[in-house]
Structure 1
């Protein structure tokens, strides 16, 4: 736009980003923020003489920037003191390192020829002296007993060592607590032969590490050690830089959360109550530490009452979800991954009493799992990056800001295709009991005590049988139990790519290369045998009179006083769209297909509430017969390069794509090494899979989920 331009943004985060970049370029600028009325929009732009078509304002809330690239940036008072503070930090750091670790020294004189020449720069360290790790033959820096200057000598003898031909030591031994030092050039060195042994307290510098001039030769001579040390220093520096950056980002989010905590509330109101359910086993037991460090302080700063429950088993998670309601808490914050969320949703919809459905509270999800597919499908532009402290902080800020989004889970069940086993008719049991009673009655005895003992024994046996029946626990839906029902938000997947993505976490010792190595190593050991399945699916329908119930409007109840007040009118808060006039001929139409794939994904994709009241299922699969080991490695490495965790970055990789509302999966063949499916990230082994049916259905059940809208800070904030 030339020297002067106007930059407009509706978001406060954009204001901070632009200001930061302008400061880095030393640009003089003026920022104007606030609500801009509609009639003042173009006038404000015209006042800055912006060329036509280059400046527009969208919305009423925006930020204006006017800067001139020809003017230097004015150094403000805050900038000056920030520079002074940084200089003080640098000076203190150098002083501490030089006093306790080591420093760079300039050597003069010829006393250490030929080891150290006149004018050489050497690196000396102090840790060996502090740790008492100085040995004979080491080059040390000693304070001269004559003038107090720092001299460089070689330590030749330590305490109680015998020395011959030294006039200063009549006993021929070095005294306790002293050291004997000499220069390599004995003809031109002033050392302990002149001023005697020096106290150990005067030994300041320890081993001279290397001469700067010979550093290249030394590093080349020790190539393996140099490479190992370089790699270690690189990762150490990157780790320290990441710690510094994450600490700074936490401080920025803490300031944002504190704004909500400082907002006054009435004495009659109570603070918001949030129940946190922590899955201790999620993400190799690291999720609790991440939540405590990144999200919990923000909730406290925002003035929220937090109750933490550490869940020990999936049964406990489902039990809590089936009874928790809005009288106990205002929101539930789940700390875990997709499997933890699926257990909570299963308890909420499968085990909750129907009359308690209206008391469901909003849910927040802390991205502490390995993949977090639920959030990736919902907000793909934010949650593609993993292990980002900003995403964990944003999940807490979404709960603080009450930023909710309506989502619909899907239902998945695994059942048998075999007919049920016939049971014994109940009419046979009484006849057996009658025969038994008749038999017992036909054994007369003369002893009445024996008859009493016999009747007591029969009674005790019946009581024990009753207790055994009562002590049998009720069957709950487990991983391999028949008729398992799971509600989840993420997906159902199978194949080698899902297996490798789960396997990579066990190769942690490869650090940043673990994911690429997992693809290479698994395909080196095994061939990607595809899975074979037949599917029956029902076409997706956004809503019609066939699949949506008719809207029934209840008439208001009439009372006698309505003769004077008129007919009552009640606002219906749960108004549903009327589909009685919508006709869809393809609704409910079923199709069959066959799948041979090494990567199968059935994802639960959310739809616009104005378009459909349910989510939709999207099935994608590749051509397993045409995918070999090299193809799996290449596509896996492409995913690593693009930071894609679940889907391929190549649009032509998947040969089959379809959308449905219901899918029945009949597995015909599975790789012998991985005979299982992943439902919401948790593996479910399919025993006798040829007689199993996996039913997946999109539901109209509603969940209010706290989700972040954007990342308000970047890594360089």
Structure 2
């Protein structure tokens, strides 16, 4: 009887093999989904208990609960950012006993404006993608009281966007699921683990605007060339599912990619410290301190009632972690500050900070120049290899402190001469079809002459990893 049923079932499956295969795939997918959700629930239970332990710890009678401000981009990740924040971050912050205020951005550039006036908070949570992070960092480092603001306002980078390379590079290795990445970034804030992080200052060298452009600041990388163009188009191949990135490289060879990055480049080699840069840094710190003290005096003078109140004695402002802490006045480096010039002709140009470069990378900005040409098969193979985490092959590498890049007129976008905003590197509302782009931490900016400078230990971030040994941002 049992054998008869088995035979009958086998015959039915053979005669309806398409339906059988489809049903098996659905059952397999449903089973994996259910197991994943069960494991996620167990993990969230454990991490919530850890957060609750921080919240149950008694505070000193004179201490106040920590107050954090969230800058949330509700449009990030196709509008899923707020829901993911409420699901994974909100419970941990509440259980940890933190006082949370949320500011939702409504337009591009608003996060910069918010950070330029941010105050009265113990930390800032950046809930969004790389674009939101870049805006927050730019607003923070543009402040007149930058040295003090960096110390007062450490940043918690939560990977909630489509591209969150800056935040992901700060996470422990092996965090592959969204729940683990988001909760680990949040718990670094709860545990109050703060570390310094390098940044880059990018200044456009020419602009047609009447008001000179202000610099923008980045945490991870600047990319230019065919590989950057492919990464910008991956989302268009969503219908390929898990193969979308691989297929993007396959179809990209037939598209109008930036196969030539030509121009003139000047750079200064990275200097760990010598008598020349030591004196320059000391002078810059003194000038910055004098400017900030003058600004504070002017602000007090603007209040009529302040003249009736005894003024406090001027004190030296707190120095940022990037301040000179070692005396290099006796170290001689004849190559410090010397500009080296060379032409550029490549299909792949990238510049990365230390934490975004390869494991074990030393201090400084890490410049990588790819080959001048590459066949279609080599391009696809190289792209797939980078997807697996391999380092780019056949490239030239330099460790620099400053870079001045002047693309040739043919490589610059046709909209360079168009009117620009006060952010001289920002993109126009309607760029021409032949516009070429840099990738600034995953965001697109017009190709034009730029000056890029390293800012060591420019910001403070919450992370469990050593920021001098963090994971590289994907190419």
Unaligned regions of 5+ residues in structure 2, if any?
287-314, 357-361, 414-432, 467-475
Q: Point out the structure with max Rg over C-alpha.
A: 1
User: Is 1:405 the counterpart of 2:195 in the alignment?
Assistant: yes
User: Is 1:667 the counterpart of 2:407 in the alignment?
Assistant: yes
> In structure 1, which of residues 374, 393, 396 is the aligned counterpart of residue 183 of structure 2?
393
Distance 1:220 1:534, change over 3 A: farther
> In structure 1, which of residues 495, 500, 505 is the aligned counterpart of residue 225 of structure 2?
495
TM-score, scaled relative to structure 2: 0.77
Distance 1:349 1:521 in 2: 40
Partner residue in 2 for 1:246: 40
Distance 1:579 1:245, change over 3 A: same
Partner residue in 1 for 2:308: none
Q: Provide the aligned length of Structure 1 versus Structure 2.
A: 406
User: Is 1:382 the counterpart of 2:173 in the alignment?
Assistant: yes
Map 1:578-617 to 2 at 5 A. Answer: 578-606=327-355, 616-617=364-365
Give the deviation of 1:255 after TM superposition: 0.9
Give a deviation string over 1:628-662, Cα, whole Å, max 9, x none: 2211211222233x2x3xxxx145x1421111100
Q: Secondary structure at the match of 1:515?
A: helix
User: Is 1:633 the counterpart of 2:413 in the alignment?
Assistant: no
Partner residue in 2 for 1:682: 443
Partners of 1:528 and 1:629 within 8 A in 2: no
Distance 1:376 1:573, change over 3 A: same
Partners of 1:527 and 1:628 within 8 A in 2: no
> In structure 1, which of residues 523, 532, 547 is the aligned counterpart of residue 253 of structure 2?
523
Bigger relative contact order, structure 1 or 2 (CA pairs below 8 A, ≥6 apart):
2
Give the deviation of 1:502 after TM superposition: 2.5
Partners of 1:534 and 1:665 within 8 A in 2: yes
Distance 2:151 2:51 in 1: 28
RMSD: 3.2
Give the deviation of 1:583 after TM superposition: 1.4
Partner residue in 2 for 1:96: none
User: Is 1:338 the counterpart of 2:103 in the alignment?
Assistant: no
Map 1:429-448 to 2 at 5 A. Answer: none
Distance 1:390 1:407 in 2: 22
Give a deviation string over 1:200-227, Cα, whole Å, max 9, x none: xxxxxxxxxxx54333333333333333
Give the deviation of 1:506 after TM superposition: 2.7
Give the deviation of 1:347 after TM superposition: 1.1
Give the deviation of 1:357 after TM superposition: 4.1
Give the deviation of 1:586 after TM superposition: 0.7
Give the deviation of 1:605 after TM superposition: 1.3
User: Is 1:544 the counterpart of 2:255 in the alignment?
Assistant: no
Give the deviation of 1:388 after TM superposition: 3.3
Distance 1:232 1:213 in 2: 24
Distance 1:533 1:227 in 2: 56
Distance 1:519 1:491 in 2: 21
Give the deviation of 1:230 after TM superposition: 2.9
Give a deviation string over 1:647-699, Cα, whole Å, max 9, x none: xx145x1421111100011112449866111112110133xxxxx31111102
Distance 1:376 1:603, change over 3 A: farther
Partners of 1:415 and 1:484 within 8 A in 2: no
Distance 1:369 1:697 in 2: 27
Partners of 2:225 and 2:257 within 8 A in 1: no
Distance 1:414 1:520 in 2: 34
Q: Secondary structure at the match of 1:416?
A: coil
Distance 1:597 1:605, change over 3 A: same
Give the deviation of 1:572 after TM superposition: 10
Give the deviation of 1:242 after TM superposition: 1.7
> In structure 2, which of residues 161, 175, 185 is the aligned counterpart of residue 369 of structure 1?
161
Give the deviation of 1:496 after TM superposition: 2.2
Give the deviation of 1:581 after TM superposition: 1.4
Give a deviation string over 1:174-210, Cα, whole Å, max 9, x none: xxxxxxxxxxxxxxxxxxxxxxxxxxxxxxxxxxxxx
Give a deviation string over 1:491-522, Cα, whole Å, max 9, x none: 11122222222222232222212222222222
Q: Secondary structure at the match of 1:548?
A: helix
TM-score, scaled relative to structure 1: 0.52
Unaligned regions of 5+ residues in structure 1, if any?
1-117, 122-210, 424-474, 476-481, 555-569, 608-613, 687-691, 711-717
